[in-house]
């Protein structure tokens, strides 16, 4: 509503004076302010805030009259009455010095564009010159207690109990005296007349005249309060009647609110009692109280002292209160607390010490409520020394607090009710998010009949209305628009502001004319003809209709009330305006769809229709009067109407789900009459005419019924003309802001499933609910209320804040104030209210329509939490508890289990029993979570069970959850569960485990074995050569933190229990051939896989069905089955040219298939370290002598020189390119820079591409090599063979077969592998011919296995030392080969070379030189 901004300003006084001001009084327009000191009266101007004239009483007159007390302006600002302590009234004339005389001249720098554009420009810009003359002195012969101006009279109350009526002109009959004791007082105006004995000897202490009540609110010197009103037009003792409030005995001051007919009485207790006059009986009724609460102000709520001053704002929407002990507090008209300076940063310094509150002797609101003028009685003197102070201008003790306010206070229109618009003295604050988003959001929400203009559609319309949340709540920042200075200088203050439906344009109106601003162009548009602007006064406000601005104004030239329409896109000129003459002054204006509603000063309401016409280049609009409704019977004074709204809300006929189109028409008028919300519906009791029988011209609108009061204490009303059949509850509801009572919603009730509504069930229901913010806008579909709140920043720690010997400056006394956007959910309040009233069906309909909102789970949680806190902490027994109903309600939603546990985790443990008595046993809820596979929620229930059940129960349920988490691969949860089970076993139940977070996707995509193991990717198939089946083989343990954990607690019984579960899960994964899951399980949980596999070598790690295992691996690792290319007959590798180019670098004894596959994978694994596989090839060749003991021909092949630069990149580039284009991870992005010299033909490229297409993803290759290493170290030859077949690496098979010849290998293992390979061969012959070339290649190995199984080798005849000597030089232990990638690659190549050379010896055939190469090339082609 109203919000403080910035720091207060201290006004400079150019005159020297020893007297301090103590009283300030504005004139009726708040343009001039009279400031009193003991013997001096000064008149200040509002903008700029400067002193105009000062009158000082002579010493002789001052001794006669006494010091000044208070002042009162004549309504036309031509006279001032000043009361003195000796009972004199001094009447001063305020005279203008002349049209051409001004007090201050503006000085502009040279070259400035500011020039005199209009004769009135200088006058408006600068303060006028005035003079003050004492006109008359009146002696009332008694101390004066109060003064009040009333039309042509001045009413003065004196301490002798008299009321003096003084005519401002002081001619004949200029004075009339009334004795207060003779005025009859009673409880109400209907009581029998007669003087009241209770009021003898009392006098009026404070009084204020209320225009709309036609009477005086008075406070007597004994603390009683009352209201005096004339029963006829004459103001005499015989015609006056008084009513008094029975319960008040400590009144101190009074202020009246004319718009809402309220009287606010300050009390000695520190509270403010707000009374209204009952229209029927005339008695005083307490409306509400304004008081600080102990909850929000525990230190000061009862230490404020008596209320000293109360001041209503000019628009009557807020009131400011100050107390004897100091401080300021701001309330809305019906008691919503907005600001208080007795707490938080206003009351405490940054170091925690308490400040003294500012004590105020007088205060007054400035024009339009943008400033609060305050005269403080204790503000420190300036920082200048006394000698400087005499020579310079004096710092007066007048402070100006600056405010910004909601545009709804002055212009409550419906153009856009979903965006908060605040207006300040010179700027606007708007809560729209990104302009593009806001535009597209509201375009789709606008009436579909209204076609947007070309200018409006400059931005793409891509966002649906359901995403309004993202635009209006996108960020907390405001769009701050500085009002155009040229317009502001001549038309300050800004009185009205409005924003259009799309949130793209803002219009403002000041003293004359108006201007509008576009967020698209970031420009203001002003009248081109300044005379047209100055000849128009906006009286009833302004609204937007599509891209037209609708204005109710007064034409000063023609002296005519008019209704004008201006097109936004055209120039601001009356030539482009549509002007309609009106016959009475317009006070309020609003729009609904294609209708304009006006409320006029004669208490009548006019409805107009607007129609858009596209006649010429610029569209125009025509206005036609539809209907006129007189309200004079129901409205006592036109100024009492706060807002008028046309809505589609109605009550009488059958509201059903079948007829959403009925909500489109203008069905009723909502009138806020002094806080009473009155509704007038269309009268449908008469004969109805079908619409199609009447033409558009003959159609006559239905009359309205008599008004019905819907609600009291209403400050604001929100409704929308949009329709959404999915959220009819929210869009057809009426939203009310009711001050301290919070909000109310008038909600429609719909029968379910199109059933006939019950006759006893109302069509609508009024539901109240409290919110923590002041509502300024309602997002209807999003079930949100938008608002704003004051935030403060302290700057008292800066160097100037503590100058020795000087008082604190304002920046240290007051915090810097900012305005922040706020929002609040209200849906849980409405659902609860419906459940309380046994309207669960309606609550379910409403909740289901909002279930898609992102914060709907929070809504359910809030509802449970609020009800639980209230009922479980209640000291009195609750006869009909609501919690079971709420629990039953939320079971209708899939979020039931999460809602309950989240609420429990955020609630005290003491309330858990009450909660779970209503919602069910947590063990049952835990099992429901497991059945629903919601493991994170189940983990939260486990913490509940740990606190509510014995450890055995927690352990049992934790085991269930742990096993399920293992099965689903929820590794974060598994780690939490391991810690949880250990905590239960070690008695650490006092610290429940944290709720597991949501499983994050693995960033590496592979097994995170590098977290716990010092194994690099490149340790792959080559480590097969180091296979040892010795019983004393040492197992490699993890080297990370898990190593300490597993070794330290290995003997603990709890660890054994956990290990048993881990072993069981690993055994199951292996039996089901889920190697990928097994690898993830081992890497994520630090499971020692090698040690476990050694134990399970002959049990779980044994493979019975090689074919099934191979198929599972293909499926698990997304590995494609090999295919035979169609062009294999014309293989490019049989071409002699290719042999010439590449043969020098290929191993003469090795198959090209093995070379390409192995070297490509090795280079892919080592991408961070080597640019291409050829680099690693070269680096490996330099270390061949130390890493291998092969024959010379193998080393010569690796060390053969490259032929030329083109050949250098031929194979490598092709490999890199294909791998890059087919990679899954995208780790590789390097392509050889000499790719343009690639010398392969198209068929050769196709062949190599086919080879690489038969490979699986790079991620799977890395994972398979890791698993191969694990099975190698653990001694599981069956799995090594299967992985070797899958990756089609002959070297792997050959190393396994060579190691199977060891006597330590059980014969059944060798037999199993032989049978498995034969089964794979049979399967490949029938189902997968792509494997046949590879199986033909390893057929010699299969023959070896047959021979091994046929020979009966005795174990004692085996010589392990010779085997070791044969095998170890081929590849050292992994621990020895961890020196770097170069040595690892060396071992790869040496192994492949040796394996292939052994294969070569067994191949019968032709020449020793040519045949191996051709044979190997042919195999590469097939596979």
- Write the pLDDT tens digit of every residue in 735-766: 999 999 999 999 988 877 666 655 555 688 99
Confidence tier at 440 by pLDDT (50, 70, 90): very low
The Cα 167–Cα 473 span in angstroms is: 57
- Write the pLDDT tens digit of every residue in 901-954: 999 999 999 999 999 999 999 999 999 999 999 999 999 999 999 898 888 898
Confidence tier at 1141 by pLDDT (50, 70, 90): very low
Return the pLDDT at 758. 58
More confident residue, 80 or 1290: 80
Confidence tier at 509 by pLDDT (50, 70, 90): very high
- Write the pLDDT tens digit of every residue in 1008-1038: 433 343 333 333 333 333 343 332 333 333 4
Q: Which residues contact 420 (CB under 8 A, 6 or more apart)?
A: 406, 429, 430, 431, 776, 777, 786, 787, 788, 821
Confidence tier at 1054 by pLDDT (50, 70, 90): confident
Return the pLDDT at 295. 85
- Write the pLDDT tens digit of every residue in 60-76: 999 999 999 999 999 99
Stretch 376-382: mean pLDDT, rounded?
59
Distance of CA 512 to CAs 515, 565, 1411, Å?
10, 16, 105
Confidence tier at 474 by pLDDT (50, 70, 90): low
Stretch 451-458: mean pLDDT, rounded?
39
CB 548 within 8 A of CB 562: no
Return the pLDDT at 198. 65
Instruction: Give the percent of the chain with pLDDT over 90.
Output: 38
SS3 assignment, position 806? coil
Return the pLDDT at 1035. 35
CB 332 within 8 A of CB 317: yes
Task: Please state the separation of Cα 670 from the chain's center in Å.
Answer: 32
The Cα 1264–Cα 1178 span in angstroms is: 26
Distance of CA 827 to CAs 376, 846, 863, 894, 982, Å?
45, 9, 9, 18, 43
Return the pLDDT at 879. 87
More confident residue, 1199 or 354: 354
Average the pLDDT over each of 315-324, 859-868, 1249-1258 and give the range with the smallest value.
1249-1258
The Cα 1292–Cα 1023 span in angstroms is: 9
Instruction: Give the percent of the chain with pLDDT over 70.
Output: 70
Stretch 20-45: mean pLDDT, rounded?
93
Return the pLDDT at 785. 92
- Write the pLDDT tens digit of every residue in 798-817: 665 444 334 567 777 889 99
Please state, rounded to an integer, the average pLDDT across all residues of the chain.
76
- Write the pLDDT tens digit of every residue in 546-555: 889 999 999 9
Return the pLDDT at 1240. 65
Stretch 1038-1067: mean pLDDT, rounded?
66
Most confidently modeled range among 640-649, 756-765, 1180-1189: 640-649
Residue 957 confidence (pLDDT) above 60: yes
Average the pLDDT over each of 144-158, 313-327, 372-386, 1205-1219 and give the range with the smallest value.
1205-1219
More confident residue, 210 or 1407: 210
HSE value, Cβ hemisphere, 13 Å, CA-based, for 155? 23
Q: Which residues contact 981 (CB under 8 A, 6 or more apart)?
A: 955, 958, 959, 962, 1054, 1057, 1058
pTM (global) more than 0.95: no
Confidence tier at 209 by pLDDT (50, 70, 90): very high
- Write the pLDDT tens digit of every residue in 559-593: 999 999 999 999 999 999 999 999 999 999 999 98
The Cα 594–Cα 602 span in angstroms is: 24
More confident residue, 1205 or 1114: 1114
Stretch 345-366: mean pLDDT, rounded?
88
Residue 1328 confidence (pLDDT) above 60: yes
Phi and psi of 423, rounded to 5°?
A: -120, 135
Confidence tier at 1400 by pLDDT (50, 70, 90): very low
- Write the pLDDT tens digit of every residue in 1116-1134: 898 888 887 655 544 444 4
Q: Which DSSP helix (H) or strand (E) runs through 1161?
A: helix 1152-1165
Q: Which DSSP helix (H) or strand (E) runs through 376?
A: strand 371-376
Instruction: Label the pairing between strands 240-244 and 185-186.
Output: parallel
Return the pLDDT at 807. 57
Confidence tier at 1399 by pLDDT (50, 70, 90): very low
Stretch 621-629: mean pLDDT, rounded?
90
Sign of the alpha-carbon torsion through 312, 314, 318, 320: negative
Residue 1380 confidence (pLDDT) above 50: no
More confident residue, 1053 or 1336: 1336
Confidence tier at 455 by pLDDT (50, 70, 90): very low
Residue 1402 confidence (pLDDT) above 90: no
The Cα 1215–Cα 1221 span in angstroms is: 10
Return the pLDDT at 1377. 36
Confidence tier at 394 by pLDDT (50, 70, 90): low
- Write the pLDDT tens digit of every residue in 1198-1254: 333 333 333 333 333 333 333 333 333 333 333 444 444 445 677 677 667 777 777
The Cα 90–Cα 92 span in angstroms is: 6
Return the pLDDT at 709. 92
The Cα 811–Cα 171 span in angstroms is: 52
Residue 717 confidence (pLDDT) above 80: yes
More confident residue, 155 or 1349: 155
């Amino acid at each position: 509503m109203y919000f403080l901004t910035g720091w207060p300003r201290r006004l400079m006084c150019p005159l020297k004076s020893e007297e301090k001001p103590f009283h300030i009084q504005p004139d009726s327009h708040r343009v001039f302010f009279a400031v009193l000191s003991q013997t001096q009266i000064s008149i200040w101007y509002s903008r700029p805030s400067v002193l105009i004239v000062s009158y000082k009483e002579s010493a002789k007159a001052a001794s006669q009259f006494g010091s000044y007390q208070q002042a009162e302006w004549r309504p036309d600002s031509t006279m001032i009455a000043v009361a003195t302590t000796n009972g004199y009234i001094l009447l001063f004339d305020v005279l203008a010095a002349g049209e051409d005389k001004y007090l201050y001249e503006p000085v502009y720098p040279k070259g400035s564009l500011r020039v005199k554009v209009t004769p009135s420009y200088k006058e408006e810009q600068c303060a006028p010159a005035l003079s003050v003359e004492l006109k008359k002195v009146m002696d009332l012969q008694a101390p004066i207690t109060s003064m009040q101006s009333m039309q042509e009279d001045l009413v003065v109350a004196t301490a002798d109990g008299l009321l003096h009526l003084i005519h401002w002109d002081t001619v004949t009959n200029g004075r009339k005296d009334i004795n207060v004791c003779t005025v009859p007082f009673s409880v109400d105006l209907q009581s029998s007349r007669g003087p009241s004995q209770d009021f003898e000897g009392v006098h009026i202490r404070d009084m204020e005249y209320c225009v709309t009540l036609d009477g005086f609110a008075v406070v007597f010197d004994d603390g009683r309060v009352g209201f005096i009103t004339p029963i006829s037009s004459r103001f005499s003792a015989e015609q006056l009647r008084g009513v008094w409030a029975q319960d008040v005995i400590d009144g101190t001051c009074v202020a009246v609110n004319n718009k809402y007919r309220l009287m606010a009485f300050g009390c000695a207790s520190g509270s403010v009692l707000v009374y209204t006059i009952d229209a029927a009986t005339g008695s005083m009724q307490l409306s509400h109280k304004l008081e600080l609460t102990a909850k929000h102000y525990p230190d000061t709520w009862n230490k404020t002292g008596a209320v000293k001053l109360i001041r209503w704002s000019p628009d009557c929407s807020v009131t400011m209160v100050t107390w004897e002990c100091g401080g300021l507090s701001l309330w809305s008209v019906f008691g919503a607390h907005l600001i208080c300076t007795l707490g938080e940063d206003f009351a405490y310094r940054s170091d925690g010490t308490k400040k003294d509150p500012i004590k105020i002797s007088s205060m007054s609101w400035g024009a339009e409520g943008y400033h609060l003028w305050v005269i403080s009685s204790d503000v420190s003197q300036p920082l200048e020394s006394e000698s400087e102070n005499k020579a310079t201008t004096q710092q007066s003790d007048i402070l100006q607090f600056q405010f910004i306010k909601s545009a709804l206070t002055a212009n409550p229109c419906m153009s856009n009710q979903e965006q908060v618009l605040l207006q300040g003295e010179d700027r606007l604050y708007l809560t729209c998010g990104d302009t593009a988003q806001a535009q597209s959001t509201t375009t789709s929400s606008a009436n579909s009949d209204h076609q947007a203009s070309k200018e409006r559609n400059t931005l793409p319309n891509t966002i649906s209305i359901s995403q309004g949340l993202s635009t209006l709540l996108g960020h907390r920042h405001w769009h701050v628009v500085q009002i155009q200075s040229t317009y502001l200088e001549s038309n300050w203050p800004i009185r009205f502001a409005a924003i259009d439906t799309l949130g793209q344009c803002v219009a403002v109106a000041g003293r004359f004319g108006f201007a509008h601003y576009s967020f698209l162009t970031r420009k203001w548009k002003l009248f081109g003809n300044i005379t047209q602007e100055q000849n128009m006064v906006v009286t009833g406000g302004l609204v937007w209709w599509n891209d037209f601005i609708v204005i109710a104004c007064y034409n000063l030239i023609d002296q005519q009330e008019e209704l004008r329409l201006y097109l936004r896109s055209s120039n601001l000129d009356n030539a482009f305006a549509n002007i309609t003459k009106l016959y009475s002054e317009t006070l309020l204006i609003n729009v609904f769809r294609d209708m304009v509603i006006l409320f006029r000063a004669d208490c009548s309401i006019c409805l107009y229709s607007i129609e858009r016409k596209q006649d010429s280049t610029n569209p125009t609009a025509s206005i036609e009067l539809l209907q006129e409704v007189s309200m004079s019977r129901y409205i006592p004074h036109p100024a009492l109407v706060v807002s008028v709204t046309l809505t589609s809300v109605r009550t009488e006929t059958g509201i059903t789900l079948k007829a959403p189109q009925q909500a489109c028409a203008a069905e009723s008028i909502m009138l806020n009459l002094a806080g009473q919300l009155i509704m007038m519906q269309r009268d449908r009791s008469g004969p109805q005419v079908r619409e199609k029988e009447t033409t558009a011209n003959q159609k006559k609108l239905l009359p309205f019924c008599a008004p019905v009061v819907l609600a009291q204490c209403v400050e604001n009303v929100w409704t929308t003309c949009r329709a959404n059949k999915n959220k009819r509850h929210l869009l057809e509801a009426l939203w009310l802001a009711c001050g301290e009572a919070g909000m109310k919603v008038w909600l429609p009730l719909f029968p379910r499933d199109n059933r006939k509504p019950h006759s006893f069930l109302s069509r609508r229901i009024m539901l109240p609910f409290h919110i923590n913010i002041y509502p300024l806008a309602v997002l209807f579909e999003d079930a949100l209320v938008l608002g704003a709140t004051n935030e403060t920043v302290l700057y008292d720690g800066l160097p100037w804040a503590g100058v020795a010997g000087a008082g604190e400056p304002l920046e240290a006394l007051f915090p810097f104030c900012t305005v922040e956007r706020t929002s609040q959910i209200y849906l849980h309040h409405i659902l609860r209210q419906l459940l309380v009233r046994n309207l669960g069906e309606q609550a379910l309909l409403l909740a289901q329509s909002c279930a898609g909102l992102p914060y709907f789970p929070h809504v359910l949680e809030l509802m449970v939490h609020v009800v639980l806190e209230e009922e479980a902490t209640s000291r009195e027994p609750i006869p009909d508890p609501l919690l079971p109903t709420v629990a039953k309600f939320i079971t209708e939603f899939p979020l039931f289990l999460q809602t309950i546990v989240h609420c429990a985790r955020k609630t005290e443990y003491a309330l858990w029993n009450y909660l779970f008595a209503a919602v069910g046993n947590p063990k049952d809820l835990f099992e429901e979570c497991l059945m629903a596979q919601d493991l994170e929620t189940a983990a939260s229930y486990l913490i509940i069970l740990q606190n509510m059940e014995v450890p055995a129960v927690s352990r049992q349920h934790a085991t269930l959850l742990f096993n399920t988490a293992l099965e689903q691969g929820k590794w974060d949860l598994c780690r939490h569960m391991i810690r949880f089970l250990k905590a239960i076993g070690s008695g650490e139940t006092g610290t429940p485990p944290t709720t597991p977070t949501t499983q994050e996707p693995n960033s590496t995509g592979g097994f995170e074995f590098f977290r716990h193991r010092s194994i690099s990717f490149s340790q792959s198939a080559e480590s097969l050569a180091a296979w040892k089946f010795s019983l004393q083989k040492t197992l490699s343990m993890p080297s990370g933190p898990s190593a300490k954990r597993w070794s330290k607690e290995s003997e603990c019984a709890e660890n054994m229990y956990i290990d048993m579960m881990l072993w069981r899960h690993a055994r199951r994964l292996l039996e089901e051939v889920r190697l990928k899951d097994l690898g993830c399980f081992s890497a994520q949980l630090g499971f020692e896989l090698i040690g476990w596999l050694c134990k399970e070598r002959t049990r779980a790690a044994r493979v019975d069905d090689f074919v099934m295992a191979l198929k599972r691996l293909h499926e698990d690792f997304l590995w494609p089955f090999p295919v035979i290319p169609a062009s294999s007959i014309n293989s490019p590798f049989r071409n002699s040219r290719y042999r010439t180019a590449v043969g020098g670098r290929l191993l003469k004894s090795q198959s090209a298939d093995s070379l390409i596959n192995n070297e490509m994978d090795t280079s892919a694994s080592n991408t961070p370290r080597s640019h291409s596989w050829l680099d690693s090839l070269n680096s490996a060749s330099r270390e061949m002598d130390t890493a291998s003991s092969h024959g010379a021909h193998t080393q010569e092949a690796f060390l053969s020189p490259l032929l030329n630069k083109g050949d250098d990149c031929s194979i490598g580039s092709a490999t890199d390119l294909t791998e890059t284009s087919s990679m899954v991870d995208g780790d590789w992005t390097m392509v050889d820079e000499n790719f343009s010299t690639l010398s392969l033909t198209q068929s050769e490229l196709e062949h190599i591409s086919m080879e690489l297409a038969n490979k699986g993803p790079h991620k799977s290759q890395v994972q398979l090599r890791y698993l191969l290493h694990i099975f190698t170290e653990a001694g599981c030859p069956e799995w090594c063979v299967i992985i070797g077949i899958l990756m089609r690496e002959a070297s792997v098979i050959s190393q396994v077969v060579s190691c199977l010849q060891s006597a330590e290998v059980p014969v059944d293992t060798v037999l199993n592998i032989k049978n498995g390979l034969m089964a794979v061969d049979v399967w490949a012959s029938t189902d997968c011919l792509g494997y046949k070339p590879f199986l033909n290649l390893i057929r010699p190995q299969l023959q070896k296995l047959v021979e091994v199984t046929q020979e009966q080798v005795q174990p004692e005849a085996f010589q392990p030392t010779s085997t070791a000597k044969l095998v170890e030089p081929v590849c050292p232990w992994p621990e020895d080969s961890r020196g770097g990638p170069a040595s690892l690659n060396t071992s790869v190549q040496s192994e492949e070379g040796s394996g292939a050379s052994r294969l070569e010896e067994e191949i019968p055939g032709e020449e020793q030189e040519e045949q191996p190469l051709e044979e190997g090339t042919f195999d590469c082609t097939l596979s």
